[in-house]
């Protein structure tokens, strides 16, 4: 809860994660998104700012729909929070909106669903463009096989087999609302929405789906991996560069601003809507 005399401010944030060692500030002083954004906001507030985020992203992972909040005594207009932060931020982090929130709002604990997109560039030749914003797979991928396999993960399951060893989540049981696999020219997009995600969960799912897409494993293999509840049965963890946190959902009472669901280079693909 925000203390007396403080306002709680929520922000929409997008960033390219390639240069950063993840979202979370680290004691060893390496470059992180959190510390960079806190430093910029502290200049606007003229006092230290400490952020809470909706979902901590790993090194190399991007976001178009990250939501954060902080408490402050500073009185600034919403435009000042957005423009002031952006003036003090590097080119690969941007604040897209700001809103004053009730004291009981919490960017992480009030979220009811999160949505990620994993973008694969599927071509024999590596891409010269977006080379840190998509994952390149040179082997031909069968999208229909991948989409068929994805259906095994829908609903409520124990996702231990897709969980990193260092995951700190209290429970591996999550509800997968949708997992769509679509092709757009040379791009393949995994669009995943769930109640919450485990550490490396999307990247581990992507690794399994790409293995099935190459024909190396049968479609039913993903069901065997899921039911094993053992990480070692699930193959490699896919590269972080193609992963984007694109949306965090909250109950209607909070009425957060809505923007397009990114990343920006996919916004023309109407098949991804919904």
Which residues sit in the known binding site for substrate?
116
The answer to whether 116 and 198 are in contact (CB under 8 A) is: no
- Burial annotation 250-259 (CB, 10 A radius, 16+ → b, else e): beeebebeee
Q: 3-class SS at 21?
A: coil
Catalytic positions:
58
Give the residue numbers of the binding site: 116
Neighbours of 242 (CB within 10 A): 29
């Amino acid at each position: 809860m925000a203390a007396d005399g403080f306002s709680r401010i929520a922000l929409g944030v997008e960033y390219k994660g390639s240069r950063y060692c993840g979202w979370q500030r680290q004691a060893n002083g390496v470059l992180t998104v959190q510390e960079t954004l806190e430093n910029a906001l502290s200049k606007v507030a003229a006092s230290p700012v400490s952020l809470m985020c909706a979902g901590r992203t790993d090194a190399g992972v991007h976001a178009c729909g990250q939501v954060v909040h902080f408490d402050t005594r500073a009185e600034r207009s919403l435009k000042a929070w957005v423009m002031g932060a952006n003036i003090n931020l590097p080119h690969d982090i941007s604040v897209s909106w700001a809103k004053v929130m009730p004291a009981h709002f919490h960017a992480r604990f009030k979220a009811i669903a999160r949505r990620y997109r994993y973008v694969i560039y599927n071509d024999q030749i590596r891409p010269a463009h977006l080379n840190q914003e998509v994952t390149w797979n040179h082997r031909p991928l069968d999208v229909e096989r991948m989409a068929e396999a994805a259906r095994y993960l829908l609903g409520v399951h124990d996702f231990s087999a897709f969980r990193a060893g260092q995951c700190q989540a209290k429970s591996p049981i999550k509800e997968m609302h949708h997992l769509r696999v679509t092709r757009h020219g040379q791009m393949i997009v995994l669009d995943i929405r769930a109640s919450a995600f485990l550490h490396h969960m999307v990247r581990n799912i992507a690794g399994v789906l790409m293995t099935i897409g190459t024909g190396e494993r049968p479609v039913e293999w993903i069901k065997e991996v899921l039911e094993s509840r053992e990480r070692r049965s699930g193959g490699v963890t896919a590269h972080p560069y193609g992963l984007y946190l694109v949306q965090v959902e909250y109950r209607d009472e909070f009425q957060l601003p809505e923007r397009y669901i990114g990343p920006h280079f996919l916004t023309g693909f109407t098949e991804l809507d919904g």
